[in-house]
Chain A
Amino acid sequence: MSFQKKFAIVIGVFAVLVIAWISIEFESGEVPFISVGELIENHDQFTQSRFRMGGNVDEGSISYSEDKLTVNFVLRQGEDLLPVTYLSAEIPDLFKDEAEVIVEGKYLDGVFQADNLMTKCASRYDEEANYQPLTEG
């Protein structure tokens, strides 16, 4: 077999291995976005994995620990409610009643343990959120 062929085979095998490895890592690295209802219905399926959820902060549900590092609240999506706990020195400033949030983490014993909390804010580059006209006409 010529060297060219040998080299091509080696490259080919290497390529197949790398692609397979990337696919496996990718699948295990996927963080699915699921609905609160889905979680409540099939909660035993979700105990090991990480996932993301979105919804609104249920009014009046926010409570902070005494040292202010942990916040507990209820995530509401449609009719479904889910208690969430999040520990961080940096609670987003836009986090308040009815705020739209995305949480990422794991589900344990009926409570969502979030390690990431994001609030939605109006995009600074939004076409619509322009300027405030002082006068018109």
Chain B
Amino acid sequence: MYALLGNSLLTISFIFTIYGLIATLLNIRNKDDRFLRSAKVAFISSSVMILGSALALIHELMVSNFDIEYVAKYTSAETPAMFKFSGLWAGMEGSLLFWLSILSLYFIFVILQNRTRHPKLMPWVIFTLGVIQIFFLVMSNFFENPFTLIPDGMIVTGRGLNPLLQHWAMLIHPPLLYLGFIGFAVPFAFAMSAIITRNLDAVWIQTTRRWTLVTWILLTLAVVLGGKWAYVELGWGGYWAWDPVENASLLPWLTGTAYLHSVLIQEKKNMLRLWNMILIMLTFTLTIFGTYLTRSGVVSSVHAFAATDLGVWFFGFIILIISVNIFLLILRRKDLKSDNRLESFVSRESGFLFNNMLFVAMMLAVLWGTMYPIFSEAVSGYKITVGSPYFNRIMVPLGLILLALTGIGPLLAWRKTSPRSLRRNFLWPVVTGLVTAALWGVLYDVKLIYPLLSAALIVFVMATISMEFYRGVKARKRITGENVFKAFFSMIDKNRSRYGGYVVHVGIVMMFAGFTGKAFDKEADLSMMPGEVRTLRNYEIVYQDYWFESSETNPGTRSNHVAKVISLDINKDGSHFDDMKPEKRFYTDQDNQPHSNVAVKTTLNEDFYVVLGDVDLDTGRATLKVRINSMVTWVWLGTLVLLLGTLISINIEEFFRRKTR
């Protein structure tokens, strides 16, 4: 019954969205507001129905109704409840309905939030969102319907969820990613409206500023969480492999971050109107491209869903988006010309422009590295792979230049910075940077040039940010006579955007510290018999014991798998550090698919990381990989600081205060 309900809602929603599109067009043509009201009602209704359809699917997943093919494919009776729920996005059909659901939530919000605002912009905004919605409705209704029933007369047991996905991150990473990805559709819709209606001043940007920040932080959190998940789950010891689908999520993030920065220039100086338009168009297109990449079968990856016909349709949709965008850019090129001009290299405008160039260069490098192997194989049949070394060799130097800009940019003045100002602002930070470089060269191998530069730049940027806070508090104290603490907080409050931005940059600096740690990682492949001891740097690994667990020995925790476990006594600098129990699991409902459960002990400066290859239950011989991962925690902590800075910038209290007025 729920399947029928879900299916019907999906179909009716499709009809309502079609109506909404037609009504919007009629409103644009006739200027009759009744059409617009009617269209808004239609879109809200179709969005609510989509959400209802998703709830129906969730219901069927939770009760394990295996008459529905989707439920049978991605869950089993033994699957824990929270993973039955996440079955909503575990497979192709459900993930498309989930995509639609998130879009619908945003759609409803945008309509309601702007019901009395921006009358000139709203018709094309909702039309654009409606077009996106209709595309995904077509995919869901006609190609990948999650409510398809299994053939008559068959009874099946569910397959169960891939053990790699049975981790709490499965509940958070995909939703966050979708929230971040799909969120860019809103500034994009406003941009489309602005360019079509020729309202190309900063209004469309100001309106979407908070939205862009929110969607950006959600995408950032999603990408980092994906890395953390891979780190604890996949067992290769890293958090970023330049996997095609990882890259697909990074591409819109790169141009999205560039966009975040360059709109600041348009707001302040009304410059770069054409460039901002291109950036948001590019960012949105890349989100659809990322959605396409995982579903087309074009790449094989940990993430990729199976190959389907969807690929062709998505590709067509992307071509349509690009064509319409190019057409509009050419049509409105005169309206997009900016009045103000660049005046100097040492200006904040030029700093932002260099920032943008770097992000775009990074995006292109990653795009090329991801897509070229695919093109190459399709065109010439000649197979190549492009691995981490290429990506790292490009991204590290570009990243370091960006890091330098993070310190330089904010201290440049608009239009032109005087030499006196340059000296005053940069002398102390540059000195501290150089001193750091010198110290580093003494303490560590100078040949490791990138870590040296990274350390120097980290200190340089922290010096510039500290100086900004120091000067700001000092100035405020002089004017208001407040004490240091009050001055500090009210200074931030009076200029949320700026100081929130500085906090975000502190987070970035912390993440760079984490990345730099990779140069100091160490790993070893060990083969040990019980009782043996090995050392890695200042760690001592003592192999204590080994055993087997199953649902007979541990009915509570081993319901859908069996495990070989070893216990290790780890000593650090002579004293006891931790007891670690890495294990090798075999999932009984997945044809005994093996999976290593990593054991990690985290401290601020390094992680001790152990993966069990195998243990012979007769002899006790264990093969294991141990790793020291330096500074990894700084990546995760830096992300939290990034979140704090974004919350400051968004001015979340003001948002709620306005709502309650």
Contacts and interface: CB of A to CB of B under 8 A. Distances in A.
Interface residues of A, number: 43
B382 interface: yes
Contact of A26 (B305, B390, B621): B390
B533 to A, nearest CB: 15
A125 B91 contact: yes
Contacts of A78: none
Category for how many chain B residues contact A: 35 or more
* Interface core residue of A31, A87, A131 (most chain B CB under 10 Å): A131
A37 to B, nearest CB: 15
Interface string A106-134: 00000000000000010111110011111
B320 interface: no
B365 A22 contact: yes
B311 to A, nearest CB: 13
A132 B342 CA distance: 67
B563 interface: no
B263 interface: no
Contacts of A127: 306, 308
Contact of B345 (A7, A89, A125, A130): A7
A134 B159 contact: no
Given A67-B527, A90-B625, A31 B386 contact: yes
Contact of A89 (B342, B357, B611): B611
A135 B150 CA distance: 12
B393 A29 contact: yes
A25 B385 contact: no
B162 interface: yes
B372 A91 contact: no
Nearest to B369: A26
Interface in A31-49: 31-33
A25 B393 contact: yes
A107 to B, nearest CB: 17
B63 interface: no
A32 B386 contact: no
Contacts of A29: 369, 386-387, 389-390, 393
Contact of B383 (A3, A10, A32): A32
B364 A22 contact: yes
B551 interface: no
B72 A69 contact: no
Nearest to A134: B155
A44 B642 CA distance: 52
B110 to A, nearest CB: 33
A31 B624 CA distance: 28
A132 B160 CA distance: 12
A93 interface: yes
A110 to B, nearest CB: 24
Interface in B304-318: 304-306, 308
Nearest to B164: A124
B343 interface: yes
Interface in B377-401: 382-387, 389-390, 393-394
Contacts of A131: 72-73, 156-159
B375 interface: no
Interface of B: 72-73, 91-92, 153-159, 162, 235, 304-306, 308, 341-345, 350, 353, 357, 361, 364-365, 368-369, 372, 382-387, 389-390, 393-394, 525-527, 590, 593-594, 596, 611, 613-614, 616, 621, 623-625
30 contacts: A3-B343, A4-B342, A7-B345, A11-B353, A11-B357, A15-B361, A22-B364, A29-B390, A30-B386, A31-B384, A32-B382, A68-B614, A68-B623, A69-B525, A69-B526, A69-B623, A88-B613, A89-B526, A90-B235, A90-B611, A90-B614, A91-B613, A91-B614, A91-B623, A125-B305, A127-B308, A130-B72, A132-B157, A134-B155, A134-B157
